[in-house]
Amino acid sequence: MSVRILALVGSLRAGSHNRQLAEAAVKHAPADVEVELFEGLADVPFYNEDVDVEGSVPEAAVRLRAVAGQVDAFLLFSPEYNGTMPAVLKNAIDWLSRPFGAGAVSGKPVAVVGTAFGQYGGVWAQDDARKSIGIAGATVLEDVKLSIPGSVTRFAETHPGDDHEVVAGLTEVIKQLTSQTATAAA
């Protein structure tokens, strides 16, 4: 059985190190695991309960929910913006949390990882993302973490997918997420 994991990246910047980290997860996922990098978070409008009614949900949000509904788990990649997670990631969580109690993330395993320029690698943002997605109904793997500090210098000339330490860390996160997915399905 193949496990499907949806990667959501909290940075929209083309050269984002978190996007590169997600690309590394896609590239280095085990043979029995498919990590899909979601494209289109920039197109999802800010969550508004007034438009979250049948027939009015924006197409980008419909697509996000549809893709998310087909996966077994989530892997969130969060940089740190002003000490917290980026709005685009929080917005995706908001859309995926609805309808409350039955959203696309409900009961599904989630791990949060990331990289940031600071000395702690974005841990505050990642902790906030864990809190938010947990409240949204996901099963957060609280002890599965990968926070890579100094992204600007560490990845100045090396793609995260070519950094053996990073690849080993990502592989372990995916392994833990896959293990939790099997446990959740049992």
pLDDT at res. 97 = 97
pLDDT at res. 100 = 85
Domain spans in the chain, listed from the N-terminal domain onward? 3-185
pLDDT at res. 186 = 63
Contacts of 157 by beta carbon, 8 Å cutoff, 6+ apart = none
Judged by DSSP in three states, 63 sits in: helix
Q: What is the distance between the alpha carbons of residues 68 and 77, in angstroms, rounded to a whole number?
A: 15
pLDDT at res. 182 = 76
Which strands sit side by side in the sheet containing 33-37, from one edge to the other? 33-37, 3-9, 73-77, 109-115, 139-148
Q: Count of alpha carbons within 13 Å of 75, Cβ hemisphere only?
A: 36
Q: Cis peptide before 58, with omega less than 30 degrees from 0?
A: no
Q: 145 with 122: CB under 8 angstroms?
A: no
Average pLDDT, the chain: 95
Judged by DSSP in three states, 18 sits in: helix
Cα–Cα distance list, 22 to 53, 100, 102, 106, 114 (Å)? 32, 28, 27, 22, 9
Superfamily of domain 3-185: Flavodoxin domain (3.40.50.360)
Q: 179 burial class (0-12, 13-18, 19+ CB within 10 angstroms)?
A: middle
Average pLDDT (8-34) is 96
Tens digit of each residue's pLDDT (9 = 90 or more) over 110-146: 999 999 999 989 999 999 999 999 999 999 999 999 9
Tens digit of each residue's pLDDT (9 = 90 or more) over 61-107: 999 999 999 999 999 999 999 999 999 999 999 999 999 889 999 99
For the ranges 35-39, 116-120, 180-184, which has the lowest average pLDDT?
A: 180-184
pLDDT at res. 183 = 74
pLDDT at res. 27 = 97
pTM, entire model: 0.96
